Structure 1
C-alpha cells in the first residue's frame, strides 16, 4: 500500500490571471506540520488570523494551470467559491473529513481518489 501525497483538483470557476487566462486544474499536496506552523509568524496573520489559510493554501497547491508558483497573492485573487472549494478539499485530503461533502453545494466535483482518503 502506498501513501498518496498529491491530489489533482478542478476549480469550479477557475483563477483568471493578469493576462486573462483561465486556470482551473491543479494539484494539492498533503500538508506537513510546518505548513500550518510557519504562517503563525507572518505579520499578516497577526493582523488577521484568517490569513493563515491563504498562506497554507499557497504552500500546498503545487500546480495551478500554467502558473509557475502559487503565492498568497494568487490565492487572494481566487473567486470565493474556488477559495471555499480549496478549503474543503484541504480538509478532505489532510484530515479525511468526508463529512464536509454533505454540506457542499450540489454538483461540486471532487475527484474520486480524494473521496477514498483513508
Structure 2
C-alpha cells in the first residue's frame, strides 16, 4: 500500500544525497614552507568522535582555546596541494583564515549547507550569500 500526502503526491520524495564534504576558499590562504599559498580546500562534516577526542588532548586541557585548532585539523580534508592537513597546519594559519574556518565549521555542521540569509542594511532586502564562495570582489 502506497501512502500519499495531503496533496495526493507520494510521501516518498526524491531527496538530495547527503553532502558530507564542502569546498571553501580561505580569505588569505595558508603559506607553506616553500612560500606556496594554498586557498582552496574542503571540510567534511564532523562526527561525535571528532568533537570528543580532542577533549582528551593535553594541549586542549591546558588551553581550551586550542580545541578549535585540533578539531579543524581533523575535519579539513584538503587544502591546496598539501599532502595532508593536521592541527599543525591549522596552528600556522592567519587569524582571519582560522576565524573563517571556525564560522564555516559551525555553518556546515549546524545548518548542513554553506548559505546564509542576510539583509541589506540600507534597503532591508533579504537574500542569501554563499559563505564558501569566492574571495571579496570576485564572483
TM-score computed with the length of structure 2 as normaliser: 0.71
Pick from 31, 48, 54 the counterpart of residue 33 of structure 1. 48
Conservation of the 8 A alpha-carbon contact between 2:104 and 2:132: no
Q: Secondary structure at the match of 1:50?
A: helix
**Residue 61 (structure 1) aligned with residue 76 (structure 2):** yes
* CA 77–94 in structure 1, closer or farther in 2 if over 3 Å, else same: same
Task: Count residues with an aligned counterpart.
Answer: 107
| CA–CA separation in structure 2 for the residues paired with 1:38 and 1:101 | 32
| Structure 1: tracts of 5 or more residues without a match | 103-107, 113-118
Q: Secondary structure at the match of 2:100?
A: helix
Instruction: Give 1 or 2: higher helix fraction.
Output: 1
Larger RCO of the pair (alpha carbons < 8 Å, separation 6+): 1
**Residue 22 (structure 1) aligned with residue 43 (structure 2):** no
CA deviations over 1:37-58 (Å, ceiling 9, x no partner): 0001110011001111101100
The structure that has the greater radius of gyration is 2
| CA–CA separation in structure 1 for the residues paired with 2:117 and 2:75 | 21
Instruction: Tell me which residue corresponds to 1:47.
Output: 62
Instruction: Give 1 or 2: higher strand fraction.
Output: 2
Instruction: Tell me which residue corresponds to 2:131.
Output: 110
| CA displacement at 1:81 relative to structure 2 | 0.5
| CA displacement at 1:101 relative to structure 2 | 6.9
| CA displacement at 1:15 relative to structure 2 | 0.3
